[in-house]
C-alpha cells in the first residue's frame, strides 16, 4: 500500500509492536513529553480516570516479566509502564467534600475507556519520538501478584502494561523482528447506516484470512489463518479471576 501523504496518518500506518529492545533506558524527559501529549486524549467529562506507573526497580521488572507469562521485553525495554484506570482521585475529591462516590459498571468502563485512549496516544507519542512499544495484556495473567508486588492502592485498576524503548536491530527473518501485521480490510470494519449481515461479515473475514495466511506462510507458519487463531484463543475463557480482583480494589461491575 502506498504511504499516506499525511505525516500523521503515515506515522500511524507504520506501527508494529516491538519485542526486542537495546539496553538503553528511556529518558524521563522523553517519557514526560510523551505523557503530556497523551494526556490530550479525549476523556469522558474531563475526568482523566487513569494513571501510569513506571516500574524502576530491576528486580521488580524481572519478576513482572515472569508474572506477565515470561515476556522478556517487560524486563528489557527502556521503560515498563503499568497503565491503570483509576477513580482514586475521584474518591478523594468526594471524601473531602463528604459526598458519596457512585460506582457501577458504567463508572468502571469509563476508567477503562479513558485509560485506553490515553495509552494509545502514549504509544503513538513514544513512537513519534523514535521509540518502539509493545502493550502487555499479560499483566492481567497474575494480576493479584502484580498488585501485591507494586502495592497498588484501592480504586486503581491495572489494565495492561506498555513496554517502550529503543528497538534492537535484528536480522531479517529473526522471529522477533517487527513486521507490519495486516489488518482487516477497511470495508470489513467501516459501515454506513447499518451493520452488514453475517454472510458479508464472513466474506470480509475470508479476505483477511487469505492475506494473513500468506503473511504467516512467508514467516514459516504455513496453514495459519487469522480466524484459526481467533477461534483457538476464544475457545476457553481467560483470566477468570479478574472480576473478583477488580471488585476487591473497589470496582462495582453491575
Ligand X SMILES: Cc1cc2nc3c(=O)[nH]c(=O)nc-3n(C[C@H](O)[C@H](O)[C@H](O)COP(=O)(O)O)c2cc1C
Q: How far is the CB of 29 from ligand X (least distance, A)?
A: 26
Task: Note whether 181 binds ligand X by CB under 6 A.
Answer: yes
Task: Note whether 228 binds ligand X by CB under 6 A.
Answer: no
Size of the site for ligand X (CB under 6 A): 12
User: Taking CB under 6 A as the criterion, which residues in 3-22 touch ligand X?
Assistant: 15-17, 19
Task: Note whether 85 binds ligand X by CB under 6 A.
Answer: no
Task: Note whether 113 binds ligand X by CB under 6 A.
Answer: no
- Measured from the CB atom, is 132 or 250 closer to ligand X? 132
Q: How far is the CB of 205 from ligand X (least distance, A)?
A: 16
Q: How far is the CB of 253 from ligand X (least distance, A)?
A: 19
- Measured from the CB atom, is 35 or 179 closer to ligand X? 179
Tell me the pairing of strands 132-136 and 156-165: antiparallel
Give the whole-angstrom CA distance, residue 70 versus residue 78.
17
Give the whole-angstrom CA distance, residue 119 versus residue 252.
23
Rounded to 10 deg, the angle between the 28-38 and 105-128 helix axes is 130
Residue 181, Cα to own-chain centre: how many angstroms?
16
Q: Are 25 and 184 in contact, with CB atoms under 8 Å apart?
A: no
- Measured from the CB atom, is 71 or 111 closer to ligand X? 71
Task: Note whether 71 binds ligand X by CB under 6 A.
Answer: yes
Binding test (CB under 6 A) with ligand X, winner from 50, 80, 135, 246? 135
Point out which span in 1-9, 43-51, 97-105, 129-137 binds ligand X (CB under 6 A). 129-137
Binding test (CB under 6 A) with ligand X, winner from 21, 50, 80, 160? 160
Q: Three-state SS across 176-234?
A: CCCCCCCCCCHHHCCCCCCCCCHHHHHHHHHHHHHHHHHHHHCCCCCCCCHHHHHHHHH
Q: How far is the CB of 209 from ligand X (least distance, A)?
A: 16
- Give the binding site for ligand X (CB under 6 A): 15-17, 19, 71, 134-138, 160, 181
Amino acid at each position: 500500500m502506498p504511504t499516506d501523504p499525511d505525516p500523521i496518518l503515515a506515522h500511524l500506518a507504520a506501527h508494529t509492536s516491538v519485542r526486542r529492545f537495546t539496553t538503553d533506558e528511556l529518558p524521563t524527559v522523553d517519557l514526560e513529553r510523551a505523557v503530556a501529549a497523551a494526556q490530550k486524549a479525549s476523556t469522558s467529562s474531563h475526568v482523566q480516570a487513569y494513571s501510569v506507573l513506571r516500574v524502576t526497580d530491576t528486580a521488580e521488572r524481572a519478576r513482572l516479566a515472569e508474572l506477565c507469562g515470561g515476556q522478556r521485553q517487560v524486563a528489557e525495554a527502556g521503560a515498563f509502564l503499568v497503565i491503570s484506570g483509576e477513580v482514586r482521585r475521584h474518591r478523594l475529591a468526594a471524601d473531602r467534600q463528604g459526598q458519596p462516590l457512585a460506582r457501577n459498571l458504567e463508572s468502571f468502563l469509563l476508567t477503562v475507556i479513558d485509560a485506553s485512549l490515553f495509552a494509545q496516544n502514549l504509544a503513538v507519542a513514544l513512537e513519534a519520538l523514535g521509540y518502539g512499544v509493545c502493550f502487555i495484556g499479560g499483566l492481567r495473567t497474575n494480576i493479584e501478584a502484580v498488585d501485591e508486588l507494586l502495592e497498588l492502592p484501592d480504586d486503581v485498576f491495572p489494565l495492561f502494561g506498555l513496554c517502550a524503548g529503543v528497538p534492537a536491530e535484528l536480522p531479517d527473518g529473526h522471529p522477533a523482528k517487527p513486521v507490519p501485521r495486516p489488518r482487516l480490510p477497511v470495508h470489513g470494519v467501516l459501515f454506513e447506516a447499518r451493520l452488514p449481515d453475517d454472510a458479508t461479515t464472513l466474506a470480509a473475514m475470508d479476505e483477511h484470512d487469505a492475506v494473513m495466511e500468506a503473511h504467516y506462510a512467508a514467516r514459516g507458519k504455513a496453514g495459519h489463518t487469522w480466524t484459526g487463531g481467533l477461534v483457538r484463543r476464544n475457545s476457553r475463557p481467560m483470566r477468570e479471576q479478574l472480576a473478583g480482583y477488580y471488585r476487591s480494589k473497589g470496582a462495582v461491575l453491575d
